[in-house]
């Protein structure tokens, strides 16, 4: 086999070594979301990392819902998460799991720990447990219930399960070391009483395992070899290893931590997104201004663009923040050759060609994408009355303005040269109509000998235009001020959404379906809004504008 020349990230290096040393034959990874919200761009990193590793090593990738906390979990979120993971291209095949399916095994593991003298039922209240826990500089104190006999512990734990105790009255704790410098090892709670219905198991259980106890067991049961999580769990790793060892799993999974993905000045945390949704500041979890996967999809991002983005971000152990412009760069690059380039006028003003025959419509040829001839050509109707962008005409142009102004000639993209011969205004001084004459010899905008124009503008013929609503987005956060106010609330940008009610599209855009996307020449990339667009009243989202100062970071 040829030697791999691309540099390996630190996780690949660990896996290479584990395989070389025979610690595992192949790889099994998982993505373990808690079904308490929608996934966001940060989760995409975790999903694609885990799936990518499994694929690279010819191993397996599991999707497992970490549904051990019944309070916040909902079936709605299970469904949205499945849809998002699949859309991103990560295939769990037939390995869709729920941590709640392992509740019985977790309970048995707890009983085993009790029998080994490694767990005990504790009657201290939550506040007392906290007080006994000590601090980073002082050791904790042992619970007065720490030395209960195995028999008593078994009986009490069984009674906990049977519903004899109220929430918080008793907990099961691991018996490890109250003097450990690692707070997580100071007799952590591993089971609690919670009289709550669970989205999956209903009222079967009233004791639920804690995350630090449940997670290693879930991984071990599934034969996960490398359990990849984010940095905040680094201090939990000794407990993870303790659980795996004490419960006696033969093939211990290995926890590896990497740095979370953060976007500068962008809200990613589930908690904040939830707040924006609940307060009605956005129109749902898939509002195109958010960076939930559902929102990115609705805005018009493609799985490929997100894959590329995650690749560019790389995997690291140190926390950093990436610019949103990099995400925009990735979608622009992805759509550049794939999408047709159409004409759409977003801020229309009428242009009348005085010497063009009234009622005549002719069909002109236009390339769908000059950089990719495979996308073919289309016919664009042309007529006497057109719409052009308001900003493409000026009554009194500044220097270097090459678009329309009285006496000036421009090229109408894919059509003719036109010369401005006059204009009309309303009582408020707004330009309402621009008058031009055209030169029939300049058809298809190629010009003819001795004649050049400096400006080219796009247009849409009025009689065949489709009227559409177009939504322009900006960051929901006011970037000047940063994400959070002093009181922890979000600094919102009041201009994050601009709705343009009267835009005109060329008729080739009729019949565009939800999620279809296009370049609108000179404007950017736009996508049919999946929620609000109707065949007779289309709605487009701007995915991204065309220009950017973003430069790809040097590798
Ligand atoms: P958030 O804190 O944003 O609400 P979470 O960590 O609570 O997310 P989980 O459902 O617990 O969400 O996370 C599932 C997996 O996704 C975990 O393995 C977690 O480490 C990973 N993950 C969460 N946020 C990020 C992120 N910003 N970058 C990379 N991975 C992440
Ligand atoms: Mg979490």
Instruction: Please tell me the distance between residue 267's alpha carbon and the centre of ligand 1 in angstroms.
Output: 13
Averaged over 181-185, what is the pLDDT? 97
Whether residues 280 and 376 share a domain: the answer is: no
Q: SS3 string of 76-137?
A: HHHHHHHHHHHHCCCCCCCCEEEHHHHHHHHHHHHHHHHHCCCEEEECCCHHHHHHHCCCCC
Summarised one tens digit per residue, pLDDT across range 380-426 is: 999 999 999 999 999 999 999 999 999 999 999 999 999 999 999 99
User: Residue 5 falls within a domain, yes or no?
Assistant: no
Whether residues 276 and 411 share a domain: the answer is: no
Instruction: Please tell me the distance between residue 159's alpha carbon and the centre of ligand 1 in angstroms.
Output: 35
**Domain carrying residue 196:** 102-208
Instruction: Please tell me the distance between residue 47's alpha carbon and the centre of ligand 1 in angstroms.
Output: 10
Whether residues 331 and 471 share a domain: the answer is: yes
- Atom 2, ligand 1: residue with shortest CA distance: 269
Instruction: Please tell me the distance between residue 211's alpha carbon and the centre of ligand 1 in angstroms.
Output: 14
Q: Which of 161, 177, 208 is the last residue of a domain?
A: 208
Q: Which of 188, 208, 228 is the last residue of a domain?
A: 208
Residues 6+ apart with CB under 8 A from 210: 68, 188, 189, 190, 191, 192
User: Residue 409 falls within a domain, yes or no?
Assistant: yes
- Which residue has 């419960």 as its token pair? 247
Instruction: Please tell me the distance between residue 258's alpha carbon and the centre of ligand 2 in angstroms.
Output: 15
- Whether 439 lines ligand 1, by a CB cut-off of 6 Å, is no
- Whether 32 lines ligand 1, by a CB cut-off of 6 Å, is yes
Comparing 133-137, 326-330, 440-444, the range with the smallest average pLDDT is 440-444
d(CA 158, CA 196): 18
Decide if 320 contacts 258 (C-beta within 8 A). Answer: no
- Whether 33 lines ligand 1, by a CB cut-off of 6 Å, is yes
Whether residues 253 and 374 share a domain: the answer is: no
d(CA 528, CA 541): 6
Whether residues 434 and 473 share a domain: the answer is: no
Whether residues 92 and 217 share a domain: the answer is: yes
For residue 84, report the phi and psi dihedrals to the nearest 5 degrees: -70, -40
Q: What is the pLDDT of residue 2?
A: 47
Whether residues 404 and 357 share a domain: the answer is: yes
- Whether 46 lines ligand 1, by a CB cut-off of 6 Å, is yes
Average pLDDT, the chain: 94
Q: Which atom of ligand 1 is nearest to the CA of 33?
A: 10
User: Residue 426 falls within a domain, yes or no?
Assistant: yes
Whether residues 362 and 505 share a domain: the answer is: no
Give the closest residue to 541 by CA, choosing from 300, 295, 331. 300
Instruction: Please tell me the distance between residue 259's alpha carbon and the centre of ligand 2 in angstroms.
Output: 15
For residue 534, report the phi and psi dihedrals to the nearest 5 degrees: -125, 150
For residue 444, report the phi and psi dihedrals to the nearest 5 degrees: 65, 15
Higher-pLDDT residue of 206, 3: 206
Whether residues 454 and 468 share a domain: the answer is: no
User: Residue 1 falls within a domain, yes or no?
Assistant: no
User: Residue 526 falls within a domain, yes or no?
Assistant: yes
Q: How confident is the model at residue 447 (pLDDT cuts 50, 70, 90)?
A: low
Decide if 418 contacts 412 (C-beta within 8 A). Answer: yes
Q: Which of 433, 458, 483 is the last residue of a domain?
A: 458
Q: Which atom of ligand 1 is nearest to the CA of 233?
A: 20
Mutation to probe ligand 1, out of 36, 42, 74, 285 (largest number of atoms < 8 A from CB): 42
- Whether 29 lines ligand 1, by a CB cut-off of 6 Å, is no
Give Cα 125 to chain centroid, integer Å. 40
User: Residue 337 falls within a domain, yes or no?
Assistant: yes
Averaged over 201-226, what is the pLDDT? 97
User: Residue 2 falls within a domain, yes or no?
Assistant: no
Summarised one tens digit per residue, pLDDT across range 98-149 is: 999 999 999 999 999 999 999 999 999 999 999 999 999 999 999 999 999 9
Mutation to probe ligand 1, out of 43, 45, 66, 260 (largest number of atoms < 8 A from CB): 43
Instruction: Please tell me the distance between residue 513's alpha carbon and the centre of ligand 2 in angstroms.
Output: 35
Number of structural domains (the chain) is 4
Q: Which ligand is nearest to the CA of 34?
A: 1
Whether residues 279 and 315 share a domain: the answer is: yes
Q: Which ligand is nearest to the CA of 67?
A: 1
User: Residue 541 falls within a domain, yes or no?
Assistant: yes
DSSP helix/strand/coil, 528: strand
Q: What is the pLDDT of residue 509?
A: 97
- The reported pTM is 0.93
Instruction: Please tell me the distance between residue 34's alpha carbon and the centre of ligand 2 in angstroms.
Output: 6
Q: Look up the CATH number of the domain holding residue 437.
A: 2.40.240.10
Whether residues 285 and 315 share a domain: the answer is: yes
- Atom 4, ligand 1: residue with shortest CA distance: 270
Whether residues 348 and 454 share a domain: the answer is: yes
Q: Look up the CATH number of the domain holding residue 55.
A: 3.40.50.620
């Amino acid at each position: 086999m040829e030697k791999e020349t691309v540099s390996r990230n630190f996780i690949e290096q660990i896996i290479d070594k584990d395989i070389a040393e025979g610690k595992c034959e192949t790889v099994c990874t998982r993505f373990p979301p808690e079904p308490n919200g929608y996934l966001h761009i940060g989760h995409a990193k975790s999903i694609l990392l885990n799936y990518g590793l499994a694929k690279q090593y010819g191993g397996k990738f599991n999707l497992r819902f970490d549904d051990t906390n019944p309070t916040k979990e909902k079936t709605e979120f299970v469904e949205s998460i499945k849809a998002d993971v699949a859309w991103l291209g990560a295939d769990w095949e037939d390995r869709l799991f729920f941590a709640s399916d392992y509740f019985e095994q977790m309970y048995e593991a707890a009983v085993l720990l009790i029998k080994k003298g490694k767990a005990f039922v504790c009657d201290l209240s939550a506040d007392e447990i906290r007080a006994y826990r000590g601090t980073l500089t002082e050791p904790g104190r042992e619970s007065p219930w720490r030395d209960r006999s195995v028999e008593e512990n078994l009986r009490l734990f069984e009674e906990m399960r049977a519903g004899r105790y109220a929430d918080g009255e008793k907990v099961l704790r691991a018996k490890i070391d109250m003097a450990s410098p690692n707070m997580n090892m100071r007799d952590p709670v591993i089971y609690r009483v919670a009289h709550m219905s669970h989205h999956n198991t209903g009222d079967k259980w009233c004791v639920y395992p804690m995350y630090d106890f449940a997670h290693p067991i879930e991984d071990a049961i599934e034969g996960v070899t490398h359990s990849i999580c984010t940095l905040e769990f680094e201090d939990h790793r000794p407990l993870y290893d303790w659980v795996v060892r004490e419960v006696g799993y033969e093939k211990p999974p290995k926890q590896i931590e990497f740095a979370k993905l953060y976007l500068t000045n962008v809200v990613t945390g589930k908690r904040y997104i939830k707040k924006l949704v609940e307060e009605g500041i956005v129109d749902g979890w898939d509002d195109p201004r958010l960076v939930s996967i559902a929102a990115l999809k609705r805005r018009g991002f493609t799985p490929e663009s997100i894959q590329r983005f995650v690749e560019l971000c790389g995997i690291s152990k140190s926390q950093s923040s990436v610019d949103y412009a990099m995400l925009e760069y990735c979608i622009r690059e992805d759509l550049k050759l794939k999408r047709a380039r159409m004409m759409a006028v977003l801020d229309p003003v009428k242009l009348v060609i005085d010497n063009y025959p009234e009622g005549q419509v002719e069909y002109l040829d236009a390339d769908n994408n000059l950089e990719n001839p495979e996308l073919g050509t289309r016919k664009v109707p042309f007529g006497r009355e057109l719409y052009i962008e308001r900003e493409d005409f000026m009554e009194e142009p500044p220097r270097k303005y090459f678009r329309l102004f009285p006496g000036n000639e421009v090229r109408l993209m894919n059509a003719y040269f036109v010369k401005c011969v006059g204009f009309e205004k309303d009582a408020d001084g707004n330009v309402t109509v621009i008058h031009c004459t055209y030169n029939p010899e300049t058809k298809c905008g190629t010009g003819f000998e001795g004649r050049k124009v400096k400006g080219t503008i796009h247009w849409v013929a009025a009689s065949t235009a489709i009227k559409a609503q177009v939504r322009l987005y900006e960051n929901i956060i006011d970037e000047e001020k940063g994400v959070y106010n002093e009181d922890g609330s979000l600094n919102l940008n009041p201009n994050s959404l601009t709705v343009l009610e009267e835009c005109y599209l060329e008729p080739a855009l009729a019949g565009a379906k939800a999620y279809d996307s296009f370049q609108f020449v000179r404007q950017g990339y736009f996508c049919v809004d999946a929620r609000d667009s109707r065949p007779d009243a289309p709605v487009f989202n701007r995915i991204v504008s065309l220009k950017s100062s973003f430069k790809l970071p040097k590798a």
